[in-house]
Amino acid sequence: MRRRTFIASTLAAAALPQFVSAQTAAFDPTPQVVRIKQSYAPGQLLILPRSYYLYYVTAPGQAMRYGVGVGKAGLEFTGTATISVKKEWPTWRPTDDMIERDPSAYSRFIGNTEAQPGGPSNPLGARALYLFQGGKDTYFRIHGTTAPQSIGRSVSSGCIRMLNEHVKDLYERVPIGTKVTVL
């Protein structure tokens, strides 16, 4: 082994633990208080899908940050909405677009108006915050999930998913009328 190869290998091996820990520390779904731009008003929600975080602005320059799962490419919600409905253990029915995209997965919903009752096996989880624009339901939600492994990923049909214990906390904090901005 040449000296140059030995030095390069030694430096790479020494740097590897920092590189690995930096990668694993990049996403943390644990709710925590963080700093945020002063321009965001207390009481509003800001969602950054590319980083998989939802921010609830609690004071000027301060927010509670939660890890989220977001919509797959082409299915994500962007823009501004208002939370107009809040439900505990909501019922769920796939949208017509979801049924059309994957009829085999949603075959039990074809040709009827059946909805899955709320409860621990319901895909919306423990709580749901319904997003409206101009007084109309967007059919996008901020909700809990039965798939905790989906947090930090782009896997949904457009909704913002949270761990059930986190959405319960957010549900208690935000009132009807809360502004939601998804960038």
pLDDT for 103: 93
Tell me if residue 159 is catalytic.
Answer: yes
What's the CATH code of the domain at 178? 2.40.440.10
Query: Which of the following is catalytic: 159, 162, 174, 180?
Result: 159
Is the pLDDT at 123 greater than 50, yes or no? Answer: yes
Query: Is 43 part of any domain?
Result: no
Q: How confident is the model over 38-81, as pLDDT tens digits?
A: 999 999 999 999 999 999 999 999 999 999 999 998 888 899 99
How many residues are recorded in the chain? 183
DSSP string, the chain: --HHHHHHHHHHHHHHHHHHHHHHTS---S-EEEE--TTSPTT-EEEETTTTEEEEEEETTEEEEEE-BEEPTTT---EEEEEEEEEES--B---HHHHHH-TTTTGGGTTS---BPSSTTSTTTTEEEEEEETTEEEEEEEE--S-GGGTTSEEESSPEE--HHHHHHHHHHPPTT-EEEE-
Query: Which of the following is catalytic: 141, 143, 161, 166?
Result: 143
Q: How confident is the model over 93-114, as pLDDT tens digits?
A: 999 999 999 999 999 999 999 9
Query: Is 47 part of any domain?
Result: no
- In 3D, which of 93, 79, 73, 63 has the Cα closest to residue 153? 73
Return the residue matching tokens 């299915």: 75
Chain-centre distance of CA 25, in angstroms? Answer: 18
Query: Is 115 part of any domain?
Result: yes
Cα separation of 175 and 139, whole Å?
19
Burial of 91 (0-12, 13-18, 19+ CB in 10 A): middle
How many domains is the chain partitioned into structurally? Answer: 1
Query: Is 167 part of any domain?
Result: yes
pTM over 0.95: no
- In 3D, which of 46, 39, 36 has the Cα closest to residue 179? 46
Cα separation of 80 and 138, whole Å?
11
Is the pLDDT at 168 greater than 80, yes or no? Answer: yes
Query: Is 11 part of any domain?
Result: no
Residue 172 sits in which domain range?
69-182
Query: Is 174 part of any domain?
Result: yes
Query: Is 31 part of any domain?
Result: no
Cα separation of 106 and 43, whole Å?
37
pLDDT for 151: 97
pLDDT for 3: 54
Tell me if residue 143 is catalytic.
Answer: yes
pLDDT for 129: 98
Query: Is 83 part of any domain?
Result: yes
